[in-house]
């Protein structure tokens, strides 16, 4: 990174204790982000009963969050990369917490849908900004395992939101489920304004054949766009994420309802059962990141090959659970699915940071978010809901394995381009904020 004459610089290095503190805040924000996003799925039966909603309408309450993310994640991530990660994240977290609180006061479907949309507005850039912060704080050889630990917040929050939402709704009413989850996120959002972060990375590139003292020039918008357009690794990684997100959103949204309808299980018990399945992903995400970090020492493109393998295993388990098994064997298969599914994500997330200019990292993951939410997360709840309305929820869930097989194929294809794209990345030293 070039520095103006007379300006002092410090390389971006943080003590292990302070890194841990920032990581804990990032973890908690992701936790409350996901709780606020998915708490609604565990209370569908209560809302449907009060307002006579269809499954498609219920699915829309989840999908609208993804639609808002799709529309806004790129412009917000540009602000994150070019302005301030910590300030942008703090503002976003405050907004989504307030939006979640507003859901508790909705008087009809339209009002709840609007509040849920603003929840997505607040969440639009968090994953991208948090990913960029972690990529800046930790060296390459540790990034996947740290990303795995960070992503463990997702299944933990999912399990808590699905299990706790039904219990709160039964005892205090479904509106309380929204209100009780909003305040803690707001507190953490305020704390985030006071952390240290690395300076905004200048967008420069090396010009081959130019003397070393004048080798770097400022990138123009078309140069930044070319970083993405010519990068096949990113293209296949983004598309691979779409199928993963489709299945994840569908399972989180409809699995509790599936248990409720197919076995007559009370919704609070169905939520607890679903939560136990999601909770096992707490192990899968960090273990997956750790294994990918080990393998990458021997195979540079392992962070795309590894997700291909774990997704094929996940597809098989889901197929067995919804097409072959029932009762206890089905539950065991779904528990194993919960353990394996999230193992794919940390390594693939790191890829979005490794093969792009350091000044475009938040934007890179924002592009992944757009693709995965537009083609995956926003469609999963509605498509499964529509099939459920037209046929039944059993048939709807049997669609999911095919999406994971397609994702595995896309990640594996991307692995063939990884080395080329990785070697083209600009090498820049990060510097501490003043």
Q: Tell me phi and psi for residue 77, to 5 degrees.
A: -70, -30
The values of phi and psi at residue 239, to 5°, are -65, -35
Q: Are 278 and 338 in contact (CB under 8 A)?
A: yes
Is 206 in a helix, a strand, or coil? strand
Contact present, 246 and 399 (Cβ < 8 Å): no
Give the number of residues written for the chain: 434
Residue 206 bridge partners (DSSP): 216
Q: Is residue 66 part of a domain?
A: yes
pTM for this one? 0.76
User: ∠ CA(206), CA(210), CA(211), 5° rounding?
Assistant: 105
Q: What are phi and psi of 196, to 5 degrees?
A: -95, 150
Q: In the chain, what's the furthest Cα-to-Cα distance? A: 74
At 3 the pLDDT is 35
CATH number for the domain harbouring residue 165: 1.20.1250.20
Say which residues have a Cβ less than 8 Å from residue 302's Cβ, sequence separation at least 6.
Answer: 292, 295, 296, 347
Cα(24)–Cα(286) distance, integer angstroms = 15
Tell whether the torsion through CA atoms of 136, 140, 141 and 145 is positive or negative.
positive
The beta-strand segments (E) located in 63-184 are: none
Q: 367 and 125 in contact (C-beta within 8 Å)?
A: no
| Cα gap 156→161, rounded to integer Å | 9
What's the pLDDT score for residue 1?
Answer: 36
- 2 is a domain residue: no
- Give residue 82's pLDDT: 75
Q: Whole-angstrom Cα distance, residue 122 to residue 334?
A: 32
pLDDT of residue 320: 97
Please indicate, yes or no, if residue 317 is contained in any of the structural domains.
yes
Q: Is residue 4 part of a domain?
A: no
Does the residue 311 lie in any domain?
Answer: yes
Q: Are 189 and 90 in contact (CB under 8 A)?
A: yes
Residue 334 lies in a domain: yes
Total structural domains in the chain?
A: 1
> What is the helix (H) or strand (E) element at residue 217, kind and residue range?
strand 216-218
Q: Mean pLDDT for each 10-residue chunk of the chain (434 residues)?
A: 38 75 92 87 86 87 85 85 81 89 92 93 82 82 85 82 81 86 85 78 63 62 81 94 93 88 84 82 86 90 94 97 92 92 88 86 85 85 90 94 96 95 79 62
For residue 236, what are the domain limits? 16-423
Distance CA 138, CA 261 (A): 46
What is the spatial distance between Cα 161 and Cα 43, in angstroms, rounded to a whole number?
Answer: 10
Residue 80: CB partners within 8 Å, gap ≥ 6?
Answer: 88, 89, 125, 128, 129, 132, 362
Q: Nearest to residue 259, comparing CAs of 63, 61, 38, 45?
A: 45
Please tell me the distance from the alpha carbon of residue 223 to that of residue 367, in angstroms, as a whole number. 16
């Amino acid at each position: 990174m070039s520095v103006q004459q007379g300006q002092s610089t410090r390389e971006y290095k943080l003590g292990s204790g302070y890194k841990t503190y920032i990581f804990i805040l990032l973890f908690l924000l992701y936790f409350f982000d996901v709780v606020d996003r998915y708490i609604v799925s565990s209370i569908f039966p209560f809302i449907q009963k009060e307002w006579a909603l269809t499954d498609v309408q219920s699915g829309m309450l989840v999908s609208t969050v993804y639609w808002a993310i799709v529309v806004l994640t790129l412009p917000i991530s540009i602000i994150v990369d070019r302005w301030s990660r910590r300030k942008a994240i703090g503002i976003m977290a405050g907004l989504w917490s307030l939006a979640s609180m507003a859901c508790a006061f909705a008087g009809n479907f339209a009002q709840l849908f609007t509040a849920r949309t603003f929840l997505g507005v607040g969440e639009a850039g968090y994953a991208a900004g948090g990913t960029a912060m972690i990529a800046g704080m930790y060296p390459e050889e540790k990034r996947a395992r740290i990303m795995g630990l960070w992503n463990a917040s997702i299944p933990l929050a999912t399990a808590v939101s699905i299990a706790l939402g039904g219990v709160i709704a039964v005892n205090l009413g479904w509106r309380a489920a929204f209100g009780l989850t909003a305040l803690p996120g707001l507190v953490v959002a305020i704390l985030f304004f006071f952390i240290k972060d690395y300076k905004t990375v200048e967008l420069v590139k090396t010009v081959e054949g130019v003397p070393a003292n004048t080798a770097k020039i400022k990138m123009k918008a078309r140069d930044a766009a070319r970083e993405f357009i010519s990068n096949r690794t990113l293209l296949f990684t983004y598309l691979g994420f779409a199928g993963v997100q489709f299945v994840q959103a569908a399972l989180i949204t409809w699995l509790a309802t599936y248990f409720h309808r197919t076995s007559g299980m009370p919704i609070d018990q169905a939520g607890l059962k679903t939560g136990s399945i999601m909770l096992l992903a707490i192990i899968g995400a960090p273990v997956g990141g750790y294994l990918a970090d080990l393998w990458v020492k021997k195979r540079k493109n392992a962070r795309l090959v590894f997700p291909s393998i774990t997704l094929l295993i996940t597809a098989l388990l889901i197929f067995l659970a919804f097409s072959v098994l029932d009762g206890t064997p089905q539950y065991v298969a779904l528990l194993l699915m919960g353990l394996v599914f999230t193992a794919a994500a940390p390594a693939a997330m790191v890829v979005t940071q490794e093969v792009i200019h350091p000044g475009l990292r938040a934007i890179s993951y924002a592009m992944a978010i757009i693709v995965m939410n537009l083609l995956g997360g926003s469609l999963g709840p509605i498509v499964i809901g529509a099939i459920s309305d037209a046929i039944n929820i059993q048939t709807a869930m049997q669609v999911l394995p095919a999406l994971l097989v397609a994702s595995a194929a896309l990640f594996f294809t991307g692995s063939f381009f990884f080395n080329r794209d990785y070697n083209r990345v600009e090498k820049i030293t990060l510097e501490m904020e003043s």
